[in-house]
Chains A and B, each alone.
Chain A
Amino acid sequence: MTLLLESMSYGSWALHALVWLPLVGVGAVLASSEERAKTVAFWWSLAVFVLSLGLWWSFDPGSGAMQMASSVSWIEAWGVHYSLGVDGISLFMVLLTTFTTPLAILGSFHYIRKKERAFYALMLLLEMGVVGVFLATDLFLFYVFFELTLVPMYFIVGIWGGERRIYAAVKFFLYTALGSLLMLVAILYIYARAKAQLGFPSFAYMDLLRVPLTLQEQLWLFGAFALAFSIKVPLFPLHTWLPDAHVEAPTPGSVVLAAVLLKMGTYGFLRFLLPLFPGAAQHPTVVTVMLALGVAGIIYAAWVAAVQPDAKKLVAYTSVAHMGFVVIGIFALTLNGIQGGLVVMISHGISTGALFLLLGMLYERRHTRLIEDFGGLARVAPWLATAFVVTALASIGLPGTSGFVGEFLALLGTFESHPVMAVVASTGVIFAAYYMLPMVQKVFFNKLEKPENREMKDLDRRELTILTPMLALMIILGVFPTPILERMEPSVRVVLERVEAANPERELAGVAPGGSADTVELTLPALEAQPPETRVAADPVDEDTDDGNAQDGLEAADQD
């Protein structure tokens, strides 16, 4: 397989194709007729998924660097590059996106009844934006894609959503935009510092990593970035847009929102927040605050979810809880914690995506989402019930499912560095059972009292096609997570080493300055595995001084 891909020089064009093919698909959908739009969109997104599968084999699991990277000057005057790359962190996010999109599209065949062409075009546009977010290695490009995802989602919620769709869409848009615009100012600040320090303008991730920032600066910038990403995650108490958006969004919108859009926030934590501001990221106060908010989110969301009469809202709140696990995993700043966070991201994407699809199927049958309107469905729709129970168990993290691996690792990682937080957070796992299982019981078991429910149809072929790959993945990831973990590990280590290199306690512990400089040497080449041709071409004269500056800066950051 690897050889086959190499013979096609897969690595040189795959990433570009993954970003731009969905856009071509938008054109294809718009060019097709209203009736055929959904089929075109489905096969198109499926083709993108098949294409993205090649990443699995052509990806080198031993390296933590950006792979298949390429960079073309885009806006030369500002040093903006169109540069893409993939590493162990983004690899799975991209696969999750390309995996979810065709299923979400397939899941909307019956749900979306008006303006179909526009809907499927927007879904593909959304896919393009999200894939772009995960692949961009230029901060400017990243920001463009990050914002670009807002527009299709705004219209998906606003046009095809429920009763209060406009309110939900606008709230979603303004919340996210507020955060990201403040991040834009922070980006421009780093850019200005980079221009002064490096001697040439650049938004490239690799260049910005070399910009020395004082702790004071790092804390401010961290705040701006963290706000933007935390709103997206969403981290308690910035989560209030999420239940509204989820409840009002059409099923496929909810699926994509839960499965991939939320991940853009936690991905941003890992990709930008920790490596760019390592000093701030391991500042004790910052870590405590982030962990505390994560834990608060887990507990709070669980309690609120437990009292929801609306099943969709319940699942929306579980998203907040799950993302809380991701956040504590990341800010535990241990290998297990971050890897666990990443696995929760994947697992939550699949299981919550599947839950929203299942709720959508129930809604199509009964046109209600209230838990009390159901009951005893397992008798009339056994397949539907089975799928729902397995998904729910994966969601609450039963051993043997993907949810368990992620939450266990995240809690383990947190326990290694912050035992008290981990203990409190682990009660969240119990609460998860407390809100999810009664819901399952009320909907699928109990007595089959309502006459409307007696007629309920079981899953048809299309629905089985949607659910089978998702259920399979939940189990496979649960019993055999090693291939995923080993691909993540090198990249996660790079991030961790970068953060630890800025740890003030290391010096207190008697590590000689030379020692920390060694770590820096180890870290930087790993981060810069790709030869920076473009940069050299842009400014060959300054290359020497740049390195000197970067070195000085990192040491300065060490001493902070």
Chain B
Amino acid sequence: MVLDYSSNLHYFWALLPEFILCGWGMFILILGVSGKRDPRKGGDLAAEGPSQDLGLLTLVGVLAAALANGWLYGVTEAGQGLVTVDRFRLFANWIFLLSAVFGVVMSLTYVYRQRLQAGEFYSLTLFATAGMMMMASARDLMVIFLGLEVMSISVYALTAFNRRDRRSAEAGLKYFLLGAFSTGFFLYGLALVYGATGSTDIASIAWAVESGAAQRFLLVLGVGLLAVGFSFKVSAVPFHMWTPDVYEGAPTPVTAFMSVAVKAAAFVAFLRVFLVAFPGVYAEWYPIMWWLAALTMVVANVVAVAQTNVKRMLAYSSVAHAGYLMVALTAANEIAAAGLLFYLLVYAVMNMGAFAVVVVVGRQGEDSLQLEDYAGLGGKQPLLGIFLTIFLLSLAGFPGTGGFVGKIYLLQGAVDADLWYLSVILVLATVVSYYYYLRLAWYVWMREPLEDGQHDTLFIPLTTRVALAAGVALILLFGIFPSAAMDFARDSVATLVSAGTSMAGIVH
């Protein structure tokens, strides 16, 4: 099929996965409020029918969107519209869809146990995913903004979803206020860039920047504000203040989902905008990115060492990973871009996996989140312990796991751009991170349980078991036979980088 964006129907085809997700989300919403499926009935775990049905039904929608995404690979573009169907977008979509699947699977029992409104919960997840996809598909800053808002508002609601939990409500409010604040930055930056270049279309901006037609001062100011807006969303230090509180307060499956998918969406849009639209002012934004990357890696890892709450520790770990990904943005070359995609994919699996274990140990709720609660877990639940250890080793970037290959990929991008100091900071930060990942592992394996039978009552739903096993398999696959996924990531950025005119080499 050839799309030239001459009619709205072409947009429909180009945005088919988004449409499917939104449509399916509304369907779930209606099913949810149709009354038959009242989650407040309570009961024991064996009879957890209705809300699980909704969740499984949600997965059908995600699957349909995945099929549509696969179908888009056969589509070619004849003209330029507000959105694009390039490989970069489609790769990013796989990450979002994968995160959505993991997120929903983790929520199946959680939503039921915590008596959350299943219909709203799952449809908001789908809407958020659709927003992320829009951000990845955008060829225009306005579309990015639209996607950003669709995603953010859904996630604000999801964060505050557990109304009975004060921390959840507090987190939701905090996230909303700071998120709105950062959106302001983003919008102001967008306006300034528009003022400087006369366009919100990424390719036109790139042309205006390159040709020198843009108003320099306004442009640089706008670029800076856009960077701040994105930095909030990817939670780079010093714009990360909201992250630990929000991640800690939100329901754990939501935390997992947003620590992965929201971050991925923000990074994908971040990369596209800065790589395609602003290579002409690389010299100006390069030092900003450098410092953001360095600060994020150092501060997040050092602070994570002091955490005793596992959820909060993983929150800081997720900030740290944003730092590693910022290195790829700083390098801004083809290897780094491919590395960023590959890392996001691996990160989605390993972080989701770690959080899935947190949900299980937290008894599908919000208790047992302290390090001590993991003491002796490996003795009682060896397989769960091994899985958690593999996820942690991968997060730490240990050889044999996908995290290692991903980190090397990022490092290669940095090395290619001669970012030696940043590379050294990255590995030193990694050594620090070993400490807190290993600490969880030592509680799991080397401590005795606080009380007898502490882990006997853990309930691991079949769906979670399947997801965990699949996650471990993927992590090992990416770690031991990464070639296929790496080539896939490399091919996915080829069009993007060729679109971004003469990149790099400007500073070095």
Contact = CB atoms under 8 A, between A and B. Distances in A.
A148 B479 CA distance: 12
A86 to B, nearest CB: 22
Interface string B433-461: 01100110010011000000000000000
Contacts of B379: 115
B446 A159 contact: yes
B27 interface: no
A158 interface: yes
Contact of B490 (A77, A174, A188): A77
B431 A177 contact: yes
Contacts of A148: 399-400
Given A144-B399, A181-B431, A158 B445 contact: yes
Interface in B463-508: 482-483, 486-487, 490
Given A151-B393, A174-B435, A184 B482 contact: no
B445 A147 contact: no
Nearest to B412: A188
A8 interface: no
A41 B310 CA distance: 36
A174 B411 contact: no
* Chain B contact patch, size range: 20 to 34
A159 B438 CA distance: 13
A158 B428 contact: no
Contacts of A76: 483
Contacts, number: 75
B75 interface: no
A209 to B, nearest CB: 20
A155 B415 CA distance: 33
Contact of A170 (B424, B438, B483): B438
A188 B423 contact: yes
B442 A188 contact: no
A95 to B, nearest CB: 25
Contact of A182 (B427, B438, B446): B427
Contacts of A78: 408, 412
A184 B426 CA distance: 11
A182 B398 CA distance: 14
A75 B482 contact: yes
Chain A interface, >50% SS class = helix
A192 B482 CA distance: 20
B394 interface: no
B170 interface: no
A178 B442 contact: no
Contacts of A181: 427-428, 430-431
Chain B interface, >50% SS class = helix
B388 to A, nearest CB: 14
A527 B430 CA distance: 35
B250 to A, nearest CB: 31
A355 to B, nearest CB: 27
B416 interface: yes
Contact of A143 (B399, B420, B487): B399
A454 to B, nearest CB: 36
Contacts of B404: 144
A59 B431 CA distance: 40
Interface in B11-29: none
B446 A174 contact: no
B135 to A, nearest CB: 28
Interface of B: 379, 382, 393, 398-400, 404-405, 408, 411-412, 415-416, 420, 423-424, 427-428, 430-431, 434-435, 438-439, 442, 445-446, 482-483, 486-487, 490
Given A169-B446, A185-B427, 15 more contacts: A75-B405, A76-B483, A144-B404, A148-B399, A158-B442, A158-B445, A166-B442, A170-B435, A182-B427, A184-B427, A185-B411, A185-B424, A188-B423, A192-B415, A192-B416
9 contacts: A75-B486, A76-B483, A77-B483, A144-B400, A174-B435, A177-B434, A178-B428, A181-B428, A185-B427
